[in-house]
Amino acid sequence: MSVQAVVQVSVLGVKHILDQTLDFDNGLNAIEGYNGSGKTTMLKAIKYCLNYIPNDALVRRDSSVAVKFRLTNGLFRTYRKTTGDPEDEELKPYSINGNKVTDTEYVVDLNNVGINNHTVHFMIPEFDWKEMARKDNWQLAVLIENLSPEFEDIQYDLDQVQEKLQRRNGKEKDAEFDRLQRELEEVKARRRTTFLETFDVLATQVDRYYKMVNGDQNVKAELKIVNPAEPYEEVEFLISSKHGTIDTLALSFGEISYVSTALMFAFQHFLQTPFVILDRFDVSFSGTSCIKVSRGLVEIMEATGLQISVICHKDMMGEVVVNVIHLKGKE
């Protein structure tokens, strides 16, 4: 049993947002509203409800945010987080399907349906789209490595053994030194294997998504490892066409937006998250490109079943999307 789609989001007493309920479609949703209506704040409120950003500055004493999900078993689950006193039973700030629970029970239940800090980071990303593809080779490798849920454990083990070796600096080599060296090589091998498992999935998917959002079947997007011995050090993103192969740093602003979008959806494919909500997505595209990318999103949604919601700043995106959600701002 896991989350299949966002069904509804309700906010009450959240700063800069009128109290309201937003209904989501299973497929492609466009969230629209005038400047200052609280579109970005709405995303922060959703993260607040999902315990990703415990930022009480968003809310007042009488505030609450609720997110209703459809699960893979066909049932529904509503998570509500309110401002209250955890020690006061009447003001307990967490509830699931209307039943009050502790903060621990709330987090555990969210995790059981696939919602945790790692997945929310990619379901509701904070990436700057136009900068995502301009990262240098090292930064891109770090971004890819962080996708794996095993990354933190591997990094911890690596830091531990390197620290032990550092403390032995200047001492004679002995059996303990040899043991630590073997342990270091084992952790590095684990790191390499885990990284390659992630990379291989991304490398096979990024061109697919690039073609969907760009609409040009004659251009190829490619991820390339710079140093096969230590693949997690550098990864290149290259674009190939009949005119040759170029690095993303040499691409135009519009092309960079296509690359960034392709990377984002390749990440989604690896994590198999059920939904994604994107802020300021259409800002990076011209009017014509906006319509083209909107059609690409429809194609991605139909091909993968991924629920996609986009906070729009241009009306053109809404022309292609079936379900347009109008966010009402405070007067």
Domains of the chain with CATH codes: 3-114+275-285+310-326 (3.40.50.300), 137-248 (no CATH)
Tokens at 54, concatenated: 């415990």
285 has pLDDT over 80: no
C-alpha dist (Å) from residue 42 to 14, 59, 130, 219 = 9, 11, 22, 37
86 against 221, higher pLDDT? 221
Q: Is the dihedral of CA 211, 212, 213, 214 positive or negative?
A: positive
CA nearest to 143, candidates 159, 127, 155: 127
d(CA 330, CA 328): 7
- The neighbouring-strand residues paired with 28 are 308
For residue 28, how many C-alpha atoms fall within 13 Å in the half-sphere facing its CB?
19
User: So what's the pLDDT on residue 314?
Assistant: 66
Give the pairing of strands 99-100 and 94-96.
antiparallel
CA nearest to 199, candidates 263, 114, 277: 263
User: So what's the pLDDT on residue 288?
Assistant: 72
pLDDT > 90 in the chain, percent: 27
331 has pLDDT over 80: no
- Any idea which residue has 């502790």 for tokens? 102
Where residue 57 falls among pLDDT bands split at 50, 70, 90?
low
Most confident of 69-73, 169-173, 268-272, 324-328: 69-73
Instruction: Give the pLDDT mean for 74-101.
Output: 80
Give the range among 59-63, 219-223, 322-326 with minimum mean pLDDT. Answer: 59-63
d(CA 290, CA 259): 14
- The neighbouring-strand residues paired with 79 are 67, 96
Q: Give 235's contacts (C-beta < 8 A, 6+ positions apart).
A: 137, 140, 141, 144, 199, 223, 224, 225, 226
User: So what's the pLDDT on residue 235?
Assistant: 92
User: So what's the pLDDT on residue 206?
Assistant: 92
52 has pLDDT over 70: yes
Where residue 33 falls among pLDDT bands split at 50, 70, 90?
confident
Q: What is the pLDDT of residues 286-318, one digit of tens each?
A: 767 777 788 888 888 888 888 999 887 766 665
User: So what's the pLDDT on residue 176?
Assistant: 85
Report the C-alpha dihedral over residues 205, 211, 217, 223, rounded to 10 degrees.
-50
State the DSSP code for 253: H
Give the pairing of strands 76-82 and 59-71.
antiparallel
**Residues written for the chain:** 331
Give the range among 6-10, 104-108, 205-209, 323-327 with minimum mean pLDDT. Answer: 323-327
**DSSP secondary structure letters along 152-195:** HHHHHHHHHHHHHHHHTTTSPP-HHHHHHHHHHHHHHHHHHHHH
Tokens at 301, concatenated: 């949604």
User: So what's the pLDDT on residue 175?
Assistant: 85
Where residue 160 falls among pLDDT bands split at 50, 70, 90?
very high
d(CA 43, CA 277): 8
On whether the CB atoms of residues 42 and 153 are closer than 8 A, the answer is no
Rg (CA), the chain: 22
195 against 171, higher pLDDT? 195
Q: Give 125's contacts (C-beta < 8 A, 6+ positions apart).
A: 264, 276, 278
- Any idea which residue has 């993103």 for tokens? 237
